[in-house]
Amino acid sequence: MTVEQIISTIRQKKLQPDRELLSRAYDFMVKAHEGQIRADKITPYAEHPAMVALTLAEMGLDSTTIAAGLLHDVPEDTARTIDDIYDTFGQEIAQLVSGITKFSQIRYQGFDRYIESLRKMFLAASQDIRSILIKLADRKHNLETLKNLPEYKRERVAKETLEIYVPVAARLGLNNLKTTLEDLAFPYIYPREAQELIPKIIDRLENKKEYLEKINHLIQIELKKQNIKFLSVAGRAKGLYGIYRKLQLKKSSLENLYDIIAMRIIVPHAHDCYKVLSIIQNLWIPLPERYKDYIAHAKVNGYQSLHTTVICEDEEIVEWQIRTEQMHRVAELGVAAHWRYKEGQLNPNRLPTGTNRWLDELLLLDQSTENQNDYLSRLKEEIMTNRIFIFTPAGDILDLPTGATAVDFAYHIHTDIGNHCAGCRINGKMSSLETILQNNDTIEIIYDKNRLGPSRDWLNFAKTRHAREQIRRALS
């Protein structure tokens, strides 16, 4: 991988690279890593930071971030230091590199070193989110070359990826990268399942190809007939690990899983999305419970799209996603799509509110947790866990960890609402406060100002640490 290939990739994104900066960073990195090779005993080590930089370029990030990606392993693995990077490239790049450089073996060892490295990384992310983007790109290439490591290391790295880095990518809306990380880690954690399932999925996708071409042709004819402009119509398969997880959750077989491919239509404007939705739902039979409007009510990570599932030709069930080009860019690249390339910095005001809140939570977690075990458990439970999206009656979307109950929802809104909640309506039906919420539920909390406070029994089913802490505080 050469610096010219990286620069060419930047230009393909219709962005202007800082050739001088990238060339200097590339040459500095190559000289620093001279004589070092990767775990396969063949590949020069410089290939790794170059591939990290290429991923960052593909994400449309600025030259400063890409240069930091080229230099990210220099202080840890070579004789060059952070001070050398500061003297050569300035404070901004030095801070980015410092944010993802692990602690020294002398200061921390074993588990303590692992946790402190995580803390340092997430603290750096709360101050400059670009550091976590470099780390995710680094993890992607490490997974791509994981076969060269000893078996015990492969499983550890893959497991850590699914537990820590995949949820981070999801919270930042980096759907492409999230799927890639999952699929790369999948065979190392579940080798038997991957070996059995992947060939079946590939066969299923191949069998679906002709059918999808057929409905693609039909919808394009209809869109042209209705004079609706569209930029593209295409099918996209779900990730292999995502399909595996869905099979586990639904306890179903691959033959009964109809949404392994979603058809996607990209149109010029938001109002065109609703026109296309109407055409699809008039052309085929819609399943009302499978309709979601994430344009009017964007997800907390900024995701916007219309989703509808319909019964198409030959009674086949097909999911459709309809969005604009900008919505598609955000859906694929998440926080990276909000990058202000010309200014060379990220404007926090342009980030989704959910992302800003998540960064604040990372900083608060670091400040409020001293015990290493407690930090890791809270990190996984409150920040890294899979999330569900819940609607308020007003249409606002909140995100909660999977397994959260109505009580967690009440305390998430406000402590006073939690302390005085007397019941709830879920999707219009009276429900108990211990009901486990499902993705896209609409919750209305029944507030009783005369209630003295929470019940001690709530501690038995409250999922989030915040809810449990507030309940204990009120009881005491």
Q: Which residues are catalytic?
A: 76-77
CA angle 328-345-379, nearest 5°? Answer: 75
Residue with tokens 């001690």, as numbered in its chain: 456
Cα separation, 178 vs 175, whole angstroms: 5
How is residue 83 written in tokens? 């001070």
How is residue 198 written in tokens? 């992947």
- Give the Cβ contact number of residue 66 at 10 Å: 30
Find the farthest-apart pair of alpha carbons in the chain and give their distance in angstroms, rounded: 73
Q: Give the length of the chain.
A: 476
Please check whether residue 470 is in contact with residue 419, taking contact to mean a CB–CB distance below 8 angstroms.
yes
CA angle 130-165-21, nearest 5°? Answer: 25
Q: How far are the Cα atoms of 8, 63, 144, 232, 339 from residue 58, in angstroms, in the given order?
A: 10, 12, 16, 20, 13
Residue 78: strand, helix, or coil: coil
Burial class from Cβ neighbours inside 10 Å (0-12, 13-18, 19+) for residue 105 reads exposed
Residue 190 gets which letter from DSSP? S
Cα separation, 442 vs 388, whole angstroms: 12
- Nearest Cα neighbor of 379 from 189, 117, 185 is 117
What are the start-end ranges of the H helices in 107-174? Answer: 110-127, 130-144, 151-160, 166-171
What contacts 437, CB < 8 A, 6 or more positions away? Answer: 388, 390, 400, 404, 405, 406, 408, 409, 426, 443
